[in-house]
Amino acid sequence: MNIETLRQRFSELTATSTERINQGSMDVVAPNATFVDAAVLIPLLLGDDGIQVLLTKRAAHLKHHPGQVSFPGGRREPEDGSLEVTALRETHEEIGLLPDFVEIIGHLPRMYTISAYDVDPVVGLVSPGFTLTPDTSEVESIFSVPLDYLADARHRIDTKMTFKGTDIPMVEWHYADQRIWGATAAMILVLINTLGAS
């Protein structure tokens, strides 16, 4: 998988798709739940091992999802002109990556999460020469995982979690000392399937 192949695959997708992906079953979310618009950036960069997926580990003191691996992102603010702006703004705030170094090549289908967010996963290629400065109030560390590692089915763990008495099928990966699971893992699986990289 190379950069041009990535661009080509996403150029073939329908940018205006209204498809949604559920993280598990929506039966576990209250029927009257109000979903909050949010976006994450899925940063892809060319590393020594080919395409790398950039991830963060959330700070341990955070109220929501402490210590979990995630993509940079968050809820849409009123001043954000689009969810792409949200993804780029949050990424800059969390890890210091300037938007000028990000080429947005597409989106994965939006995802409803069990925490009642409607997330737009924005896929971006990161140009060489960038610097990263994590906001330690939000981010404990930044690391990357080779896309080929994630795409290798031997590294994927099929599991489940119980939420409000319901078993939800999940996938996760263990890389170095990091556990990648939850909505982040679900998005990675969709990325792999979208690229046909598995």
Domain boundaries, the chain: 3-149
- What pLDDT sits at residue 70? 94
Strand locations in the chain (E): 20-22, 36-47, 50-58, 69-70, 73-75, 102-107, 110-112, 117-126, 139-146, 156-163, 166-175, 178-180
The token duo for 109 is 């289908």
- Distance from C-alpha of 125 to C-alpha of 112, rounded to nearest angstrom: 24
* pLDDT tens for the chain, residues 1 to 198: 778 888 888 887 754 444 555 544 445 555 567 889 999 999 999 877 789 999 999 886 666 666 789 999 999 999 999 999 999 999 999 999 999 999 999 999 888 887 888 899 999 999 999 999 999 998 999 999 999 999 999 999 999 887 777 777 889 999 999 999 989 999 999 999 888 865
Phi, psi of 46 (to 5 degrees): -90, 115
CA 82 to chain centre: 17
Nearest to 26 by CA among 118, 108, 112: 112
CA 140 to chain centre: 17
- What pLDDT sits at residue 66? 63
- What pLDDT sits at residue 28? 55
CB 11 within 8 A of CB 106: yes
- Following CA atoms 140, 141, 145, 150 in sequence, which dihedral angle do they give, to the nearest 10 degrees? 0
CA torsion sign for 19, 46, 143, 79 is: negative
- Per-residue pLDDT tens digits for 17-60: 445 555 444 455 555 678 899 999 999 998 777 899 999 998 86
- What pLDDT sits at residue 162? 79
- What pLDDT sits at residue 163? 75
- What pLDDT sits at residue 110? 87
The token duo for 176 is 């170095």
- What pLDDT sits at residue 16? 42
- Distance from C-alpha of 192 to C-alpha of 25, rounded to nearest angstrom: 21
Instruction: Give the distance between the most distant pair of CA atoms in the chain.
Output: 48
- Distance from C-alpha of 116 to C-alpha of 105, rounded to nearest angstrom: 26
- What pLDDT sits at residue 184? 94
CATH class of 3-149: alpha beta
**Model pTM score:** 0.89
